Amino acid sequence: MADFKKLKVWQKAHALALGTHEMAGKIRGASNMSLKSQMIRAAMSIDSNIVEGRGKNSDKEFARYLRIALNSASELESHFIMASDLGIIARKDFATKVDQTIEVRKMLHGLIDRIGGDS
């Protein structure tokens, strides 16, 4: 299989993970540490599952990992909503990160469709 770094969806997911990590690093307060950790883990899971799936031997296996990444993207969006509702991230940061997450999710859907992973 081709180099995962050439996949546009991985590039976007990687940027999302880096941005999420940076944003989460600004979150303070012991009561927010669990959400902060979950945000970072979900974002990294998107990136990591694309990479792991790309190394598999079949499109069916690759699609399975892409679906896991898709679920992590949905989880991440939920964490952003929670953080915004709790007032621990700025509205501007929330809007930017949710937009990036939705873009990655759409790209994952497109790639799954393209490789025939829904069959």
CATH number at residue 96: 1.20.1440.60
Residue that is written with structure tokens 């940027």 in the block: 15
Question: Is residue 82 within 8 Å of residue 35, measured between CB atoms?
Answer: yes
pLDDT tens-digit profile, the chain (119 residues): 468 999 999 999 999 999 999 999 999 999 999 999 999 999 999 999 999 999 998 999 999 999 999 999 999 999 999 999 999 999 999 999 999 999 999 999 999 999 986 55
pLDDT the model gives residue 2: 66
Task: Specify the number of domains making up the chain.
Answer: 1
Q: How far apart are the C-alpha atoms of 91 and 83, rounded to whole Å?
A: 10
- Provide the residue range defining the domain that includes 53: 33-115
Residue of 11, 19, 10 lying closest to 95 (CA atoms): 19
Q: In residues, how long is the chain?
A: 119
- Asked whether residue 12 is assigned to any structural domain, the reply reads no
Q: Is residue 90 part of a domain?
A: yes
For the purposes of burial, counting CB atoms within 10 Å of the CB of 5, is it exposed (0-12), middle (13-18) or buried (19 or more)?
A: exposed
**57 domain residue, yes or no:** yes
- pTM of the complete model: 0.92
The angle that helices 33-54 and 59-85 make with each other, rounded to 10 degrees, is 160
Residue 85 belongs to some domain of the structure: yes
Per-residue confidence (pLDDT) for residue 117, from 0 to 100:
67
pLDDT, residue 3, reads 87
